[in-house]
Amino acid sequence: MLLLLYILFVIGSGIYFFLTWNYKHWEKKGIPSPEPKILCGNLQGAVFGKKHVVYDFDRIYKNYKDQYSFVGVYSMRQPQYLITDARTAKDILITKFKNFHDNEFADMSDKKKDPIFVSHPFMLKGQEWKEKRNEMTPAFTHLRIKTMYPIFQDTAEHLKMAFLRANGGTIDGYETCAHYAIDVVRVFLSKLCTETCELPLNNSKMGIFEEGYSVIIPIYSIHRDPRYYEDPDKFIPERFAPEKGGTKVYKDKGAFLPFSDGPRIEYKDQYSFVGIYNMRQPQYLAIDARTAKEVLSTKFKNFHDNEFSDLSDQKKDPILTAHPYMLKGQDWKEKRAELSTAFTHIRIKAMYPIFQKTAEHLKTTILRANGDAIDSYEMFSNYAIDVICNCAFGTDASAMFGKEAQIREMGRKILISTKLFLYFFVIQMLPRLRRIYKISIVNKVVEKFFLKIMKDAIDLRQRSKDSHNDYLTYLLELRRKKNLSDLDMVAHVILMFFDGFDAVGSVITHALYHMGRDKEIQDKLWNEIKKTIEEHDKITFDVVQEMPFLEQVVSEALRLYPPGSFKSKICTESCELRLNNSKMGTFEEGYSVIIPIYSIHRDPRYYEDPDKFIPERFAPEKGGTKIYKDKGAFIPFGDGPRTCLGMKFAQAQLKAALFAIVKDFEIDVDARTSDTLQLNPKYMIPIVLGGIWLKLKEIK
């Protein structure tokens, strides 16, 4: 009996030692870090499914943001950096891009197992990413988006019809807006430090970002940080007014990234970053916008990789590993260069009619609700899917007309997998396993489905004599120049699904929710729309771009509800950053760095009344978003060389939908929507528990 007890004691001690031995990592490195809990590290709420991960990051962010620019955290057992300063986030994304040029999950799969997803720029590294980025960028230029804008408008009109069908009843805001987003075409950023570098830990100390570590940028926290935004939790579109500087004033300080929820207030004034534990893994957590800016921008050479870029490989996952987010080094550069031309101003301008047409279809969907409350997230996600289908496949997904479109179902299955969840759990406990064993992230059924759709779309387009200004046209041009395979083209399309229909639906939903709660904002935007219609014979992409208050509303929605709550980078080259006013902290190569975008965006150091929706904070006369971007406090799409490729494409969709809905409907929030919005822990993007249900009454 004693022998059995002894054996059990030895086994138990061994397990305990294995689970906790890494928890002294940040203490040894001299990086501030909250005390980790066994098994879950610093992410207790997320690991046990009780809270959205954004709240774990935000708790830490608020604790340390006034003291450090970044801290160390643990994702289960894995150490990561968490950025707590918008300026540091901007450094990582832009200034120090060469140090953080890869995304964290770039090596999660390979081309053999997942040929479509590994072709997404998000999954690519180095030269592959650069080429893919260059390939895609022209598809999203101002001109191309402008030409696609009629599609956005048409889809937004369909959304209007969906509201009218509610017939005055309540609607689920998420569901409705999700449908919208599907018709057109991504809560934190996770970068990989690819080259060790130093960034300020606080005002007196530099901290080192070590190569190989992931860097989390908690966009949600940055966007709600009162240091950057007044009344950060209040929906105030006027904060982005042109006379206030628009979004530029926030982007310039790294405070407009759209993405997390974090740290305690008593610590945030002491450090720029701290060390945390994600289960057994030590990580840096940036709690200062300046630190976030440095990780994302200024010190990019030290954090050029994303944390999850090594989760797969090209053999197992050829699609996902082709995404620029999953690529490193030269691969990333090439893929990025390949894709960048797809999203230029000219290309987006050319696609804008598609956006408008799809947005106009929203009206039909709304009217069909016959006065009932509408699940807004579902509707606007479907809108985004229809836009994607129109631009990428030249076809209508019919997602908003009562059918559960198969293409939408497949789009949502891209990254939803029990196997993927288990793999994430295991590699947080055993980080080295990711180097040995890769998985296929994109479901093979999904891969085959999109391959067939792409082949059919290509065949139809080649037989058509009509001219088109859409994403498919760009891909066919690219195919002729670079001899792309069908798989390569599918990977490019997956980029659009991966980056966004749920995210677009979420942002539209929250913007309408706050306008439903604040009639003054709603009326102000309606008056601007009315004036714009009266002054112009035709509503074009360029006309919409000149609407300052619409821009402010979109920017404020992105601040409070960034598509990514945090960003996770890997320190690719050790460096020092300011830890606090008297000490520098070292970011060591190989460690991950968390930039809690959600927390930075809601930090009172950057925003007055950070939790209030106040669009006026981005007014042009106040510097717009620029003053916040300059200090790293506005990073809804990330920052630096690895900023989101589809940013302009997504913003054009958002504006087309909001224009179409506010023009024709009075917005009210249905009683079934909770007064206190809590994020659903099952989703990485900001989706509220219970949904957001809206009532839209047609303006006669």
List all residues 6 or more positions away from 448 whose beta carbon is below 8 Å from its beta carbon: none
pLDDT of 392 reads: 80
pLDDT of 258 reads: 57
Instruction: Write the DSSP assignment of 45-97 as a string of letters.
Output: HHHTTSS-HHHHHHHHHHHHTTB-SEEEEEEEEEEEEEEEEHHHHHIIIIITT
40 is in an annotated binding site: no
pLDDT of 175 reads: 56
Alpha-carbon distances, residue 339 vs 276, 475, 496 (angstroms): 35, 10, 11
pLDDT of 6 reads: 56
Please classify residue 50 by burial: count the beta carbons closer than 10 Å to its beta carbon, then call 0-12 exposed, 13-18 middle and 19+ buried: exposed
Instruction: Write the DSSP assignment of 162-218 as a string of letters.
Output: HHHTTTB-EEEHHHHHHHHHHH----EEEEE--SEEEEESEEEEEEEEEEEEEEEE-
Instruction: Write the DSSP assignment of 646-676 as a string of letters.
Output: THHHHHHHHHHHHHHHHHHEEEEE-TTS-SS
Answer positive or negative: Cα dihedral of 425, 428, 433, 438: positive
pLDDT of 513 reads: 96
pLDDT of 686 reads: 81
Rg (CA), the chain: 23
* Cβ neighbours of 427 (radius 10 Å): 25
Q: Which residues of the chain have pLDDT under 50?
A: 179-187, 259-267, 399-404
Work out whether strand 170-172 and strand 70-85 pair parallel, antiparallel, or are unpaired. Answer: unpaired
Q: What is the pTM of this model?
A: 0.69
The answer to whether 438 touches 317, Cβ cutoff 8 Å, is yes
* Cβ neighbours of 370 (radius 10 Å): 12
The answer to whether 589 touches 193, Cβ cutoff 8 Å, is yes
CA angle 250, 253, 257 (to 5 degrees): 60
